């Protein structure tokens, strides 16, 4: 399985601070040539003053130097009457010169802002990827494929989370969905992932890991009026020395789906309360153990998938669509594409995780 990652590839590169496409840059030069030729050979049309609009256009795709070249060419074509393009004099020519100068200033400011944007975005992406790094293709004996898409445009982390880690008690995975979405939920995601990674190393039981996550949210809510901080999550454990077993704890999360051949069935698991209510400290969540057959795949998702709707208001039929895509070489990527086509872009955070015990 290929490692997959959500990440802002819906935006064109030139909208993220990288150089614009060649056609954007060459379009201004082509317009300059075409307008000049048309005015030269058909002087009655009086199209020369359209040239005065080219320096502001050039400021959006060229730097200060390139824009000044366009401004100079426009002044030359409009001011030198022997060229047969323009007939600007006095105040008209001064107006064109001022427009060109302002265009150069705009181009200079835009380039500085672009450089700042690229710098800030690079730092933000590094910080967000440190919070939620890509899922490795393999963690111990478990092959993984994950995908994440944040609802808030331009961000890499939102209100969903997943992680797969190997520890002394086997390979453990978590998929969660915290209250809210977007940047407002990132702090909760950080707390849960930190607690999970500690639990992978320290807690011998999967129920104890869930209790640790619950306690983390309770502590984060302490002293905050009307915090109402909670999260749904499902934890999985592939125990060391038991290649045909998987243990699951569900904390108010959508069920884990098992793909066995062409069949799609939810794994029977006693659902527990969401994390953050403090109930796990009173009664640890129930751990369900299921038997895995060779080739079984476990698919875990957040409710951003099952609650997604099309334009008619119909919910996305995950089991049926998943069964139809089960033979895909990259199931996670195929499902995401199908979900995007169905909804024309989900409006909630989406996390997908596919796990196979090798």
How many CB atoms lie under 10 A from the CB of residue 40?
15
pLDDT given for residue 4 in this prediction: 42
The phi, psi pair for 209, rounded to 5°, reads -65, -45
pLDDT given for residue 105 in this prediction: 94
Give me the residue label for tokens 């909804």.
343
Distance CA 220, CA 278 (A): 12
pLDDT given for residue 183 in this prediction: 63
pLDDT given for residue 177 in this prediction: 92
pLDDT given for residue 121 in this prediction: 77
Contacts of 322 (CB under 8 A, 6+ apart): 257, 259, 264, 299, 331, 335
How many CB atoms lie under 10 A from the CB of residue 69?
15
The structure tokens listed for 34 are 């075409």
Distance CA 142, CA 239 (A): 11
pTM over 0.85: no
pLDDT given for residue 223 in this prediction: 65
The structure tokens listed for 265 are 């069935």
**C-alpha closest to that of 120 among 201, 208, 214, 17:** 17
Distance CA 45, CA 78 (A): 14
pLDDT tens by residue, the chain, 358 residues:
444 444 444 444 444 445 566 666 787 888 888 888 877 777 666 666 788 888 988 888 888 998 999 888 888 888 777 776 766 677 778 888 898 899 999 999 988 988 888 887 787 777 777 777 889 999 999 999 999 888 776 666 778 899 999 999 999 999 999 886 556 678 888 899 999 999 999 999 999 999 999 999 988 877 666 556 789 999 999 998 888 999 999 999 999 999 998 789 999 998 889 998 887 667 778 899 999 999 999 999 999 999 999 989 899 999 999 999 988 999 999 999 999 999 887 788 899 999 999 8
Looking only at the bridges linking them, the beta strands covering 263-266 and 297-301 are unpaired
pLDDT given for residue 258 in this prediction: 96
Contact 1, 356 (CB under 8 A): yes
**C-alpha closest to that of 209 among 258, 130, 275, 116:** 275
pLDDT given for residue 3 in this prediction: 42
């Amino acid at each position: 399985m290929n490692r997959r990652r959500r990440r802002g590839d819906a935006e064109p590169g030139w909208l993220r601070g990288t150089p614009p496409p060649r056609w954007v840059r060459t379009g201004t030069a082509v317009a300059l040539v075409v307008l000049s030729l048309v005015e030269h050979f058909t002087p009655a049309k009086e199209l020369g003053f359209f040239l005065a609009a080219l320096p502001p256009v050039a400021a959006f795709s060229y730097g200060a130097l390139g824009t000044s070249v366009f401004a100079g060419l426009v002044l030359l074509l409009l001011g030198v009457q022997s060229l047969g393009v323009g007939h600007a004099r006095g105040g008209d020519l001064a107006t064109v010169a001022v427009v060109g100068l302002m265009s150069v200033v705009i181009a200079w400011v835009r380039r500085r802002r672009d450089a700042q944007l690229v710098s800030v975005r690079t730092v933000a992406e590094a910080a967000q990827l440190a919070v939620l790094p890509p899922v490795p293709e393999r963690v111990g004996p478990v092959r993984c494929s994950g995908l994440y898409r944040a609802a808030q445009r331009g961000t890499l982390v939102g209100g969903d989370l997943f992680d797969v880690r190997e520890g002394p008690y086997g390979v453990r995975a978590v998929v969660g969905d915290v209250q809210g979405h977007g940047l407002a939920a990132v702090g909760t995601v950080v707390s849960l992932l930190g607690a999970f990674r500690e639990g992978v190393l320290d807690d011998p039981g999967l129920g104890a890991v869930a209790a640790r996550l619950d306690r983390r949210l309770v502590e984060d809510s302490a002293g905050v009026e009307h915090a109402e901080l909670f999260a749904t999550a499902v934890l999985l454990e592939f125990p060391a020395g038991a290649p045909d077993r998987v243990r699951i704890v569900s904390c108010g999360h959508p069920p884990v789906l098992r793909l066995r051949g062409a069949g799609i069935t939810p794994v029977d698991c006693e659902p527990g309360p969401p994390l953050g209510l403090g109930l796990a400290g009173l009664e640890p969540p129930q751990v369900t153990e299921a038997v895995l057959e060779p080739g079984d795949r476990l698919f875990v998702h957040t409710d951003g998938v099952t609650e997604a709707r099309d334009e008619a208001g119909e919910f996305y039929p995950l089991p049926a669509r998943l069964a139809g895509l089960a033979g895909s070489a990259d199931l996670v990527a195929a499902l995401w594409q199908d979900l995007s086509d169905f909804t024309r872009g989900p409006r909630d955070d989406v996390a997908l995780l596919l796990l196979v015990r090798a």
